[in-house]
Amino acid sequence: MAHTELNFPNNPWVEYMRDAMERSVLFLDILRQRGNNYEEQIVRVAPNVLSFSAEVISDGRSFERPVNYALVRITPPEGVVVDPRKRPFIVFDPRAGHGPGIGGMKHDSEIGVALQAGHPCYFVGFLPEPMPGQTVEDVCRAEAEFIRTVAELHPEAEGKPTLIGNCQAGWQIMITAALDPEIAGPILLAGAPLSYWAGVRGKNPMRYLGGNLGGSWMTSLTGDVGDGKFDGAWLVSNFESNNLANTLWKKQYNVYSKVDTEGPRYLEFEKWWGVPVQLNAEEMQFIVDELFVGNHLTAGETIMSDGARVDLRKIRSPIIVFCSWGDDITPPQQALDWVTDLYDDVDQIIQNGQTIIYCLHQSIGHLGIFVSGSVATKEHEEITLNMEMIDSLLPGLYELELSELGESVENRELIGGKHLARLVPRTLDDIRALGHNSDEDERKFAASARVSEINQGLYRSLVSPFVRAFSTPTSAEILREMHPNRIAYRIFSDRNPVMSQVAEMAENIRADGQRHPVSPDNLFLQYEKFVSSWVTNSLEIVGKAREVWAETMFHSIYGSPVLQAAVGLKSDHARNARRASGVVRQIDTSLDLEADQTKGGLLEAGMRALIYVLHGSGVDERQFNALEQIYKAASDGKTLSVSALKAILRRQATLLRADPERAMAAIPRMLSEDAARNKAVVETIEKIVGAKGKLEPVTAQRLKEIRVLFGVDGRATPIRKVAG
């Protein structure tokens, strides 16, 4: 009887076991394909996962200080037309252990969005092996050369190239722009961690890793046993260890449970994730000492070989920070707290002439920020479409808010994309409200940095000479090949003779009519999912316990007043102040600026009036897209470039900040003798201000003042005496 039930076609157990066996074979075959992809990628000179064709424009290996980076021009896909007069976009790939190409891995990505908007697009990628002696500084200098090359290729473009820096590439292009502020256009930092110490208690455990390991000496050890190279596989495994449940179970089970459909997506991702690259030991040491442990970049303590100090406040281009609450690698605090490290308040940002915008996503993960996909396409599209508005924005701190286009949205014809983009003024308290270290916690991180310097010095003096003496290229290669990540790929490739049988079995199962998926309501399948959930929850508990342990150990060790005093910190002070060196650039208040109050004509008066009316209320894309109308109303047939208009806009903003009363009182002297033209400018200002709907009381009152100053409605234009 039992034998009869076992062979009965509708037996749930038989159906489940047949499906489970088929899934197991197909899953092993997917791992086989993954291993074969790994074998193919590691022998390629320039492996990448770009889904776009590209043409090499500049090869960094030929530079005076050679680097393993190259600039390529992306070829638009069929049906996509780009305008060479539009601002070019350059996507910089993160060299954080993984292979190149993540920014263009899919057509629905950063590159794809820029191409669809008609912008010429370029990509800066890298080769698996670094050039001998290559440093992070060399890479930054090379990237500056790439930017100049792109600018030279587009002399008629509307503005300087837009730079998109993903993860590690984000802080790297920030260094580049700080060293050479004149070359960069708007800078988009996507998931880029500039403030490695930042975070909140109970989260962001990776920031404790350096301190708990005793500092950066282990980085030196890894570089020494690698014969002067740091294996990127260690960085990959470090990322993976941040989420034990996903690494050890969820990712694989997701493929196994959806083996009929999930294979292509999984293989596409693993083709990038599973081919780690190399860094020179000196490069990795710089990254760990200056950023991971030292956190020197935002304090203005990073110094180049020529003595130049990297001060992020020197960057003149707008900086857009795109981060997410779902990012466990670069949480919003690490993406944004560099602003509070550099400035005390928004007034200092304005005085320094910097424009900083941030956009917060609620759920997308770290890698999804770069790949874009359906979750983050909205942000990438709107940032791209509104880049000119961002580049024209007045200095300050803003948050980019995106909202759906409901039926009640007014002036829809002035909206370029599928969402309404609005830039809302913010203060540093808004960033602090996202979560930040206490003064005591800052002091603990400072103590861990001091301990790192001590341990690093001891290692270099006492241990490093012996390790280097026994390290050879052959021993380093053997150690790399023995890394668990590489073995996990190779063991399932066709190099394993057993896998050939798996391939044959999988082919038979995929044949027509040979696959027998079990019904979703099968009792045993439901039990399988229950067990999977139990395993996932158990691993998450273990991971959380490990995080609590790491956090507790860090605060216990580096919170010791004795240790802090021993490393040179004053234990009676709450915080070891970390401020960027130098002073913030101040507004020009010279006599020349005072004389400029009455310089210009109706166009300058109109721009000044518009800035006055909009002050403090933010701006959305409808207002910016209507801005051209004020130029047409006031220009009297003259032709000005976009850059010239932006210069006028910013100059008028500077005059208003320096002395608002005097700047506004000077407007009547700048008006046209043609009252109709003056009235047209005022009506245009009213249209621009009203583009986003109902006016706030303060805005409405300022509009009334402007009508008086411009002599509209038959009133006499008041000529105010300008003192001095």
What is the model's pLDDT at position 579?
A: 52
What is the model's pLDDT at position 88?
A: 94
CA distances (Å), origin 488, targets 31, 72, 484, 659 = 9, 33, 6, 66
Query: Exposure string (b/e) for 283-294, b if CB count within 10 Å is 16 or more?
Result: bbbbbbbbbbbb
Q: What does R_g of the chain's alpha carbons equal in angstroms?
A: 29
Cα of first residue to Cα of last residue in the chain, in angstroms, is: 110
Helices 523-558 and 439-462 meet at what angle, rounded to 10?
Answer: 80
Cα gap 67→146, rounded to integer Å? 12
- Phi first, then psi: give them for residue 479, nearest 5 degrees: -65, -40
Helices 697-709 and 602-614 meet at what angle, rounded to 10?
Answer: 160
Query: Exposure string (b/e) for 240-252, b if CB count within 10 Å is 16 or more?
Result: eebbbbbbbbbbe
Exposure on the CB side of residue 398, measured as CA atoms within 13 A: 28
Range list of H helices, 615-693: 621-625, 628-634, 642-658, 660-665, 675-689
What is the model's pLDDT at position 126?
A: 92
What is the model's pLDDT at position 625?
A: 63
Cα gap 585→407, rounded to integer Å? 45
DSSP of 40-61: HHHT-SS----SS-EEEEEEGG
Does the pLDDT of residue 589 top 80, yes or no?
A: no
Cα gap 248→538, rounded to integer Å? 11
Cα gap 254→246, rounded to integer Å? 10
Exposure on the CB side of residue 585, measured as CA atoms within 13 A: 14
Contact at 8 Å (CB) between 362 and 375?
A: no
What is the model's pLDDT at position 638?
A: 65
What is the model's pLDDT at position 723?
A: 36
Contact at 8 Å (CB) between 656 and 612?
A: yes
What is the model's pLDDT at position 431?
A: 94
| Local structure of residue 721 (DSSP, 8 states) | P
Mean pLDDT of the chain, nearest integer: 84
Share of residues in the chain with pLDDT > 70 (%): 85
DSSP of 321-379: EEEETT-SSS-HHHHHTHHHHH-SSHHHHHHTT-EEEEEEESS--HHHHHH-HHHHHHH
What is the model's pLDDT at position 724?
A: 32
What is the model's pLDDT at position 73?
A: 94
What is the model's pLDDT at position 616?
A: 65
Which residue would you say has higher pLDDT here, 633 or 333? 333
451 Cβ contact list (under 8 Å, min separation 6): 211, 214, 215, 558, 563, 567
**Confidence category of residue 577, pLDDT binned at 50, 70, 90:** very low
**Ranges 452-461, 508-517, 541-550: which has the least confidence:** 508-517
Does the pLDDT of residue 17 top 90, yes or no?
A: yes
CA distances (Å), origin 322, targets 182, 404, 478 = 23, 19, 40
> Among 147, 159, 149, which residue's Cα sits nearest to residue 119?
159
**Confidence category of residue 105, pLDDT binned at 50, 70, 90:** low
Which residue would you say has higher pLDDT here, 298 or 617? 298
| Neighbour tally for 536: CB within 10 Å | 17
Angle at 554 between CA 550 and CA 558, to 5 degrees: 175
**Ranges 21-25, 132-136, 376-380, 521-525: which has the least confidence:** 376-380
What is the model's pLDDT at position 254?
A: 96
Q: Give the long-range contacts of residues 114-118, CB within 8 A, separation 24 or more.
A: 114/89, 114/162, 114/384, 115/52, 115/74, 115/76, 115/77, 115/80, 115/82, 116/80, 117/86, 117/381, 117/384, 117/385, 118/81, 118/82, 118/83, 118/86
Which residue would you say has higher pLDDT here, 588 or 264? 264
Cα gap 215→193, rounded to integer Å? 19
Which residue would you say has higher pLDDT here, 386 or 350? 350
- Encode pLDDT of 446-477 as tens digits: 999 999 999 999 999 999 999 999 999 999 99
**Confidence category of residue 103, pLDDT binned at 50, 70, 90:** low
What is the model's pLDDT at position 654?
A: 80
What is the model's pLDDT at position 283?
A: 95
What is the model's pLDDT at position 241?
A: 87
Which residue would you say has higher pLDDT here, 455 or 204? 455
* Mean predicted confidence (pLDDT) in 696-707: 85
Cα gap 658→597, rounded to integer Å? 10
- Encode pLDDT of 416-442 as tens digits: 566 777 788 899 999 999 988 888 999
* Mean predicted confidence (pLDDT) in 536-555: 95
What is the model's pLDDT at position 51?
A: 78
Does the pLDDT of residue 187 top 60, yes or no?
A: yes
What is the model's pLDDT at position 3?
A: 43
- Domains of the chain, by residue range, sit at 1-40+216-227+238-274+440-581, 54-195+295-437, 591-714
- Encode pLDDT of 119-139 as tens digits: 999 999 999 999 999 999 999
Cα gap 632→619, rounded to integer Å? 20
Q: What's the CATH architecture for 54-195+295-437?
A: 3-Layer(aba) Sandwich (3.40)
Q: Three-state SS across 126-151?
A: ECCCCCCCCCHHHHHHHHHHHHHHHH
Cα gap 225→473, rounded to integer Å? 9
What is the model's pLDDT at position 683?
A: 84
Does the pLDDT of residue 287 top 90, yes or no?
A: yes
Which residue would you say has higher pLDDT here, 573 or 37? 37
Share of residues in the chain with pLDDT > 90 (%): 47
Contact at 8 Å (CB) between 445 and 642?
A: no
The amino acid at residue 591 is L
Q: Three-state SS across 73-119?
A: EECCCCCCCCCCCCCCEEEECCCCCCCCCHHHCCCCCHHHHHHHCCC
Does the pLDDT of residue 13 top 50, yes or no?
A: yes
* Mean predicted confidence (pLDDT) in 251-255: 95
Which residue would you say has higher pLDDT here, 606 or 336? 336
Which residue would you say has higher pLDDT here, 717 or 659? 659
* Mean predicted confidence (pLDDT) in 304-321: 92
Cα gap 96→326, rounded to integer Å? 20
What is the model's pLDDT at position 450?
A: 94
Q: Is 711 left (phi over 0), alpha (psi -120 to 50) or beta?
A: left
Cα gap 46→38, rounded to integer Å? 13
Does the pLDDT of residue 48 top 90, yes or no?
A: no
